[in-house]
Amino acid sequence: MRIMAIDYGDARTGVAISDLLCTIPGATTVIPSYDLEKTLAALCRLAEENGVGQIVVGLPKNMDGSEGPRAQLCRAFAARLEEAANLPVALWDERRTTVEAHNILSQRNYHGKKRKNTVDAVAASLILEGYLAFRSR
């Protein structure tokens, strides 16, 4: 069984899928997320093709731990995804993952459109990495 992590966004959704042992992030991709139904279908297809048994959706909390409108949007998305994929969906605190993803890409000289198309996948990998570390404890 693999675990799939999702960094859900208005324009793009980053996806990272673990290895079979659920110890490290493996494959990553970014899918457009302008149309919710198409996004859900693409994620369900990815989950099925990769033998995913669980999904983790990043929950964007404020720095003080409170939840704003974006967190509520992600909660609603996670509920829809759980129903569509018929898989358990967990929420994972994703504070600072996008900032960290930008820092990682800057250090590797990714700029402009190249960065824009990669940052969400890197953020999904960071969400997955944190969740896998938590599970191993």
pLDDT in tens, 38-87: 999 999 999 999 999 999 999 998 888 888 898 999 999 999 999 999 99
CATH of the domain at 31: 3.30.420.140
* pLDDT for the residue 35: 95
4 residue type, one letter: M
Name the pTM for this structure. Answer: 0.88
Backbone angles phi, psi at 94, to 5 degrees: -110, 20
The residue with greater pLDDT, 135 or 100, is: 135
Question: Are the beta carbons of 89 and 55 closer than 8 angstroms?
Answer: yes
Provide the pLDDT for residue 19.
Answer: 85
DSSP state of 121: H
- 115: pLDDT strictly greater than 80: no
What is the pLDDT of the chain when averaged over all its residues?
A: 88
Q: Which range marks the domain in which residue 71 is found? A: 2-136
Domain count, the chain: 1
pLDDT at 92: 93
